[in-house]
Structure 1
Amino acid sequence: MKSEKLLKRKKHLKTRLLLSGLVFGFTALSHAQAQIINGVDYSTRSQVDKTFDMEGDNAFGQRFPSEHFTFRDEVTGVEVIALTTSRHHNSKIYQTHPQWTPDGGHIVFRSDRSEKSLAYAISMESYEIIQIADGEDGSHFHLGWKENLAYHFRNNDLVELNLGKLLEDSENGNVKKKENYERIVISLSEDIDPNGMALDAGEDRLYFSTRVENGQSSIMQVDLDSGGLDTVIEVPFRIGHLQANPFVPGEMMYCWETGGDAPQRIWHLSIGENGEVNNRALYKESDTEWVTHEVFLGPDHIGFNVMGHIDRLQQNPNGIFSLNIRTNELNFHGQQDWGGYWHTAGTRDLKWIVGDTFNGNIYRINYNDKTDVRLLTTGHRLTSKSPFSGEAHSHHSISPDGRWVLFNSSLLTESDIMLVPLQPAKKYK
């Protein structure tokens, strides 16, 4: 009965949003063309044409009105904030990378509202949306850990964006030409194809992976001050999900990427002060285990999921695990139905773990007591009982202050980004 009720609610919300989109679409055409009609000055409404279903121009620094919508989950009673609600495809940055600017003032996400999928920032104060990329800019931005900067590749140029200055100028309506906010760190040769990147915790180096001949991949590092380029390591498989340890300089984690079950998923790499490279497998898995979605939980711990969604995988312990990468101490944090947990995130103080299931239910788990589980929000993949459906993957992240869980959702539209409080009983100003 609950699933039928949620399906009806989803259809109702989609219909309501569609109708509102038609209304906005009609009025926007007149507002965009007019300033004063029959003595009425409409110029103050010049941005209305960027609301909901209208596609904006591809304009660096432009602002879109707030789309945020607050609702109470019908199953849990927890208040959820939808940060996007338009018909565009909106998606958070992948869970291995920072989502919030260092000051906590903005979340950076991807959207196709301007010709192609690009990076945008949403204000946590006004919920207005700011376009922070255009043209040939990549959609995968890596935010600074401490400095309000962002890094991305434009073709083979590594670009450093002064994001803090851009957001300030956009707020003041004084956006300058794009080159005023950018620095080209290095222009790579054409034989290098950068794919994925990780910013070192010291913010002096940036790593990226690239494919080489005969199925091999390499990790390369760029000195962000000098633009110097070095090869760190070469491995005989495809590298995916490269991520720096946010707390320890010179450390990173990456995976053997297959698009499915890898022979040995998780790898850890460290670079000593003398430049010596140590590369090793983490959580050495068996032939009948499917490991996925590894993330750093703290300076010494990672979290990951062992899948249990098909019969042959259920002969092994499966669910969410954490691993101390210094001592190899392994902890099990429980499992759910609906094929089991899928993605993992945790607070840096090792108090809470967050996991989701294939039907889009999101749970909070006590790190030290796997029986202490709270369902936070439900139904964000309403038609799914499998990881291989087309609805949004949660890829959830926890805010650095431990207050919010940010996730992708297909509850309202095909893909939106939403927030749910990690501790709903707490009241925040």
Structure 2
Amino acid sequence: MNKTILASLLGSCLLLQTQAQIGKRFPSERKVVNDPVTGTPLVFLTSTPAGDSKIYQTHNQWTSDGQWLIFRSGRVKGEAMAVNEQTGDIVQVTEGGYTGMLNVARKSMKLYFMREPLPPAGQEPKARKDRKETIAVEIVEVDLASLFADSKANKVQPASVYQRVCGTPPPEIGAGGDMALDGDETRVYFRINRTEAAKHLKPGTHIEEAFGPRHMGAGPAGIAAMDLRTGEVKHVISVPFQVGHIQTNPWVPGEIVFCWETGGKSPQRMWTVQADGSGLRPIYPESDFEWITHEAVISKDEVAFAIMGHRKIKGIQQDTIPGTDVHGANPGQENGWGNSGTREKPTGLAIVNLRTREVQIAGQTASGSGLWHVSGSPDGRWAVGDDFARNVYLIDRHTHEMMLLSTGHKTIAADHPHPTMSPDGTRIQIQSAMLSADNRSMNICIIPLPAEWLKRKYE
């Protein structure tokens, strides 16, 4: 081989290794932009088209010291990043890739995720025969405190110094999906495949078929847990329907919330169960006409969710709302969903108490799709939601006053804002295409709550 070509190839390999190294730093992109409609100062922690997206709003976003947000990015393919909220510094926090959900611990400076096991040195990753092939995954812990310190000092060590393999679930159970970290941070929960789930169902259990026009929701499915200290795997629960969006109660160890996933309206969307498999029940018993979605645990006793009001009332002529084409540009308009999701019945951002089972509607938009992805502050003061038009609304739960906090995040963006309230209830994280020339590429953005609202006192 030509020496020049060989040197070029070696140089490329070294460059790729450097780019993929955990602890790699990227220059700050932080900038503050006033919302063009509301005037709210929006703090963009990333501002280039690098394929950024936030963690789903069911999960924590901030590190336990409150200084960093973990996010997904295309800066290094397949790897996760952290950005410092004050300085804008960006640091690569995984090496070797990840799959599924990123789990940021609230009590310790740790990050947990799944990934396919790394091949031995010098070997290529094993290719799957097909997408349905069961593969092994390992669950990894990252020591973020040491990583950030070494990265800042330019003394980054090999990835093995910061990443610890906690365990490898048996490949035959098909571990994967929306992994969630328990409130005591000693266990994680994850989905298992149909074959494994079926083994734990009582004989004669009715297995649900696919529901709705997207042909999803069929069972069985299940949840398993792994001890992060020992790697021991235990079965939690099997159900006769498709499981989606597993999350935990960060304030109550052993409490799990998950959903029946159909890609739209479910016969019964929200469920809860204890880590020992006891207490399985619907969180909010819903009616056929109700479209329940995007539940998120927001406090020790509460789950926020959306009762959607996004569909036309049959037989009633309605004008198209700007940014929310009711004829199909937005989700859930197919006739196969039946009569659900209209405003013939009460809709809005709802909050259910897990102990008393009482439900309150915190607020709702006057028109359009209604509130969609939801979150709230742990202290019970605030609720937040977005809509199909990518508007972000803040609700004072004491007064039920609602404010349009931010808009202009572009209706053709690659994804929705997915607002998440900070643990201290002073700001909201979203993902936004406001700065993108292609109107699609997302960036990580922080919306501070209005100072005059934060100063409010309640009797």
TM-score grouping bracket, smaller chain normalisation: 0.7 to 0.9
Paired amino acid for 2:45 = L
Partner of residue 26, structure 1: none
Contact 2:220 2:241 in 1 (8 A): yes
Q: Which whole-Å deviations, capped at 9, do the CAs of 1:41-77 have from their partners, x for residues lacking one?
A: xxxxxxxxx9xxxxx9222210000111211112111
Aligned length: 364
CA distance in 1, matches of 2:48, 2:100: 19
CA distance in 2, matches of 1:323, 1:135: 40
Q: Confirm whether residue 154 of structure 1 aligns to residue 115 of structure 2.
A: yes
Is 1:127 matched with 2:97? Answer: no
Q: Distance in 2 between matches of 1:174 and 1:390?
A: 38
**Higher mean displacement: 307-316 or 345-354:** 307-316
Show the counterpart of 2:308: 307
**Distance (whole Å) between structure 1 residues aligned to residue 100 and residue 75 of structure 2:** 12
Residue 204 of structure 1 is matched in structure 2 by 186
The match for 1:362 is: 392
Taking a change above 3 Å as real, the CA distance of residues 424 and 211 of structure 1, as seen in their structure-2 partners, is: farther
Correspondence 1:99 to 2:80: no
Aligned with 1:417 (options 444, 449, 452): 444
Pair 1:317–1:427, CA change in 2 (3 A): closer
Q: Which residue of 1 aligns with 2:423?
A: 400
The one of 85, 103, 106 equivalent to 1:145 is 106
Name the TM-score, length of structure 2 as normaliser: 0.76
Deviates further, 148-157 or 184-193: 184-193
Contact kept in structure 2, 1:117 and 1:139, CA below 8 Å? no
CA offset at residue 261 of structure 1? 1.2
Match of 1:322 in 2: 351
Is the contact made by 1:118 and 1:139 (CA closer than 8 Å) also made in structure 2? Answer: no
Residue 365 of structure 1 deviates from its aligned partner by 0.7
Corresponding position: 1:375 with 2:379: no
Equivalent in the alignment of 1:333: 362
Instruction: Give ranges in structure 2 of 5+ residues lacking alignment.
Output: 1-14, 117-136, 199-218, 313-338
Partner of 2:298: 297
Residues 25-424 of structure 1 mapped to structure 2, 5 A cutoff: 57-114=19-76, 116-138=77-99, 140-155=101-116, 156-193=137-174, 194-213=176-195, 215-271=219-275, 275=276, 277-311=278-312, 312=339, 313-336=342-365, 337-370=367-400, 372-381=401-410, 384=411, 391-413=414-436, 414-424=441-451
> How far 1:164 moved relative to its partner?
1.4
Contact 2:378 2:424 in 1 (8 A): no
1: distance between equivalents of 2:370 and 2:154?
Answer: 48
Say if 2:271 and 2:283, in contact at 8 Å, map to a contact too: yes
Assess if the C-alpha contact under 8 Å between 2:363 and 2:402 holds in 1: no
- Aligned-residue offset at 1:130: 0.4
Opposite residue 201 of structure 1, the aligned amino acid is G
Shift of residue 276 of structure 1? Answer: 5.7
Determine the C-alpha separation between the residues in 2 that align with 1:379 and 1:421: 16
For structure 1, the residue ranges without an aligned partner over 5 or more in a row are 1-49, 51-55
Report % sequence identity. Answer: 37
Change (3 A) 1:276 1:295: closer
Whole-angstrom CA distance in 2 between matches of 1:307 and 1:163 = 38
Q: Deviations over 1:18-61 (max 9, x none)?
A: xxxxxxxxxxxxxxxxxxxxxxxxxxxxxxxx9xxxxx922221
Structure with the largest fraction of helix: 1
Change in Cα spacing, 1:424 to 1:72, as seen in structure 2 (3 Å) is: farther
Match of 1:14 in 2: none
Q: Is the 2:71–2:81 Cα contact (8 Å) retained in structure 1?
A: yes
**CA offsets, 1:407-426, max 9 Å, x none?**
01121122111011122447
Instruction: Quote the residue 2:315 is aligned against.
Output: none
Alpha-carbon distance between aligned partners in 1 of 2:274 and 2:348, rounded to the nearest angstrom: 27
For 1:369 and 1:240, how far apart are their aligned partners in 2?
Answer: 34
Asked if structure 2 preserves the Cα contact closer than 8 Å seen for 1:76 and 1:377, the reply is yes
Displacement of 1:391 in angstroms is 3.6
State the AA in 2 paired with 1:350: G
